[in-house]
Amino acid sequence: MTATRSVVTTAAAVLLAAGCSTPEHGPGHPAATSPVPPSAVSEIPEPESAATLLPGIPDSAELSEPVVARGRVVRADGAVVPDALVTLTTRLNPVAAARSGPDGQYELRIAAHLRAELATNENGQVEFAVSAESAEGDGRLPVWTAPAEPTHPYTADIEVTE
């Protein structure tokens, strides 16, 4: 049973238990307290899985997890680069991906199931790197370390060159 289904079922039960009524049925009318037949409760579809930009890596824009890295994708002249594919990697394995917006901004979030599998060094830190690919060129940030559970986002602009 999904959380959404559970909330709907609970709400229906509370309303029925309270003897809710409608203008055409008073509190004593059988329709006001009769249980809802199972066929009357429409089946609630399971939520779709998050969109992916890379196989097995959810689009960061679809996630609510904490931001690990953010910034802008720019050219050498400072012009922003929209629609660049920005990827967060650990030990060359992608763990987050996003597209830069019209203003060149990106935010990278790691899905909880991937964050739980991050390999850490002896200090409990993860080595991260961010790269960007676009029609205007590619760019990469230097590697940095951070805790597997984000405490604050790493902020940096990525300069792409042809």
pLDDT-derived band at 8, boundaries 50, 70, 90: very low
Q: How far apart are the first and last CA of the chain?
A: 51
Q: What is the pLDDT of residue 87?
A: 97
pLDDT greater than 50 at residue 14: no
What value does the mean pLDDT take over residues 13-19? Answer: 36
71 contacts 106 by C-beta, under 8 angstroms: yes
Does 152 lie in the same domain as 81?
A: yes
Does 29 lie in the same domain as 104?
A: no
Does 87 lie in the same domain as 145?
A: yes
- Report pLDDT digits (tens) over 71-125: 999 999 999 999 999 999 998 899 999 999 999 999 999 999 999 899 999 988 9
73 contacts 84 by C-beta, under 8 angstroms: yes
Domain that holds residue 25: 3-40
pLDDT greater than 50 at residue 45: no
Does 19 lie in the same domain as 89?
A: no
Considering the chain, what percentage of its residues have pLDDT values greater than 90?
A: 57
Q: What is the pLDDT of residue 51?
A: 74
Residues 6 or more apart whose CB falls under 8 angstroms from that of 112 comprise: 65
Structural domain contains residue 146:
yes
Q: What is the pLDDT of residue 50?
A: 53
Q: What is the pLDDT of residue 53?
A: 87
pTM, two decimals, is: 0.68
